Amino acid sequence: MTEPRTQEGDDARDLAGFGYRQELKRILGVYSSFAVAFSYISPSTGIFTLYALGLGLAGGFFFWSWPIVILGQFLVALNFAEVSSHFPVAGSVYQWSKYLANRHYSWFNGWIYLFAGILTVTAVDLTVPIVLVPFLNGLGLSIPSGFWTPIVVGLLVLLSTTLLNVFGVRLVSIVNNTGVVFEILGMVVFALVLLIFFHHQSPSILTDTRYLGSGFGNASGVFLAAMFMSLFVVYGFDTASTLAEETRNPRREAPRAVLASVIGAFVIGTIFLLATILAIPGDANKFITDTAGGKAAPPVDIITGNFGAGSLGSELYLFVVFAAIYVCCLAIQTSTIRLAFGMARDGKLPFGRIYNRVSPSLHTPVGTCIVIGLLSAIPVFYAGAGTVAISATCMIYLSYFLGNLAILIARGKGWPKAGAPFRLRGWGAVVNVLALVWGGSMLVNFLWPRPGTIINPNTSELPGLAGIPLVGNVPIVELTIGVVVLVGLVYYLIAQVNKPAQPLPQEAAASA
């Protein structure tokens, strides 16, 4: 008697077609998959972190960077949604490049993305104390500021997210799902309250270009710099795909979650940005000038300026932002662990065969969780880690660009040849080219040296790096990418380049 087919069994057989056993626990539905990707994007986290940069540089006009970045990244997301429908395996851009390009290309793409993820975990961990300490002090505690406070808080957050990842994706999904509800409801509720009761500025503030300066070249340069708030928010949507081995019916659900996370971030971010800009208290020009001079810290000062410092409204806002940043930390670490798991499983990382075993009871790669946690903890002790980690965002955009390039080259060879639940069909090449144009232009923006700023300063401006020979005048983005690629190249030449290529399983070859 034949046993009835189940979705879980079909998914396991589908994964076996790619040469992998079902070891991770497949329990995520479409909402949980969306929630993890949305948490990685986390509009409130990115907006909170670099809101002052955008407003201080371009005034209310910086709002328009938001829909521009969303549109550009949505083109990337469309490509990723299609490829995730064909390759529902853990590893995101590493796996896609492996099947659509070659093992050398995919290894370097995965290596760059892996360390970008590790540094991003550090950056977001160090953002938590900026919100958590004022929130706890508002409740009557007295937590001192100083060198060790952000380090201790950041390490405690990292320890907790590592333990959550160790004890399983179900626990991660519960925390993420709850955090996303807090973030969405919190940001929308605060935005509506601000729009209804604290609407101080005219909508004309959104079209005021005086802060951009005169001349097209100067104005465009200022706007491109102000765009970094939005660029820092809208990435990580591929997380829904990299958790494909833990998602039910991933060929259908992962693409939906990828696109839904970007659309959801756009809606929530748009409402919140509009509300907070229009709710700037008092003289908007003075507030923007004070922000540029470091005398005001929006959006917190906008909230406290309307609700009152230490009030119930301000405390609730800080709690919502804390919850959002925390689940963002969790989602980024989860995604980075799955990428490392996918690479180590293929024998592509140092000592991967030792630490990458999946626990039969927890259904998680416990050793990989610990390794990623430890690597993310190292930069926490460096005083300039925030700037270095923000610069690492460029490496994610670089990995996305390389992933899109591999997809376009594969399209030129006739991909996709097999059917899938989500396909761009005749629009695939057009969307692909537009995504590459967008990604390439933003890479130029990232690599543009900007001495004296937090975006891409010279290395000599960061603590402890001024005296290093040859690198003092190198912009930090270029140096960060250069170090990661150079270390990777040395390891690859020693341990990877002469390894025999593994033939693609029949199903994977058919999909490619």
Q: Encode pLDDT of 280-295 as tens digits.
A: 999 999 999 999 999 9
Check residues 309 and 195 and name the one with the higher pLDDT: 195
Least confident interval from 196-210, 217-231, 338-352, 385-399: 385-399
User: Tokens for 290?
Assistant: 């004070």
| CA distance linking residue 100 with residue 15, whole number of Å | 17
**pLDDT confidence bin for 1, thresholds 50/70/90:** very low
Q: What is the mean pLDDT of the chain?
A: 90
> What is the torsion angle, in degrees rounded to the nearest 10, for the CA atoms of residue 489, residue 493, residue 499 and residue 502?
20
pLDDT at residue 140 greater than cutoff 90: no
As a whole number, mean pLDDT of residues 45-68 equals 93
The whole-number pLDDT of residue 63 equals: 97
pLDDT at residue 366 greater than cutoff 80: yes
First CA to last CA distance, the chain: 35
Short-list 120, 161, 152, 128, CA closest to 323? 128
The whole-number pLDDT of residue 48 equals: 83
The whole-number pLDDT of residue 505 equals: 66
Q: Write the secondary structure of 454-467 as one string of H (helix), E (strand) and C (coil).
A: CCECEHHHCCCCCC
Distances (CA, A) of 483 to 119, 124, 343, 480: 13, 21, 20, 5
DSSP bridge partners of 406: none
Q: Is the dihedral of CA 64, 65, 66, 68 positive or negative?
A: positive
The whole-number pLDDT of residue 462 equals: 81
Angle of CA points 335, 259, 337, to nearest 5°: 5
pTM higher than 0.85: yes
Distances (CA, A) of 52 to 19, 44, 48, 57, 58: 48, 13, 8, 8, 10
Q: Is the dihedral of CA 252, 255, 259, 264 positive or negative?
A: positive
Domains of the chain are 7-384 (1.20.1740.10)
As a whole number, mean pLDDT of residues 179-192 equals 88
Please tell me what DSSP assigns to residue 91: T
| CA distance linking residue 6 with residue 390, whole number of Å | 44
Short-list 324, 201, 329, CA closest to 269? 324
Residue 450: phi and psi, rounded to 5, are -135, 75
The one-letter amino acid at 240: A
pLDDT at residue 490 greater than cutoff 60: yes
**Contact (Cβ atoms closer than 8 angstroms) between residue 382 and residue 46:** no
User: Tokens for 75?
Assistant: 């083109």
**Contact (Cβ atoms closer than 8 angstroms) between residue 53 and residue 223:** no
pLDDT at residue 511 greater than cutoff 80: no
As a whole number, mean pLDDT of residues 445-466 equals 86
pLDDT at residue 20 greater than cutoff 80: yes
The one-letter amino acid at 258: V
**pLDDT confidence bin for 38, thresholds 50/70/90:** very high
pLDDT at residue 334 greater than cutoff 70: yes
The whole-number pLDDT of residue 506 equals: 56
| CA distance linking residue 212 with residue 324, whole number of Å | 31
The whole-number pLDDT of residue 504 equals: 66
The whole-number pLDDT of residue 318 equals: 86
pLDDT digits (tens, 9 = 90+) for 71-98: 999 999 999 999 999 999 999 999 999 9
The whole-number pLDDT of residue 333 equals: 96
As a whole number, mean pLDDT of residues 180-207 equals 91
As a whole number, mean pLDDT of residues 133-150 equals 83
**Contact (Cβ atoms closer than 8 angstroms) between residue 257 and residue 33:** yes
Name 1's Cβ contacts closer than 8 Å, sequence gap at least 6: none
As a whole number, mean pLDDT of residues 422-429 equals 94
As a whole number, mean pLDDT of residues 260-274 equals 96
pLDDT digits (tens, 9 = 90+) for 231-240: 999 999 999 9
3-state secondary structure of 303: helix
As a whole number, mean pLDDT of residues 107-125 equals 94
The whole-number pLDDT of residue 5 equals: 65
As a whole number, mean pLDDT of residues 426-439 equals 97
As a whole number, mean pLDDT of residues 239-245 equals 91
| CA distance linking residue 316 with residue 378, whole number of Å | 32
Short-list 176, 46, 229, 238, CA closest to 124? 46
Check residues 443 and 25 and name the one with the higher pLDDT: 443
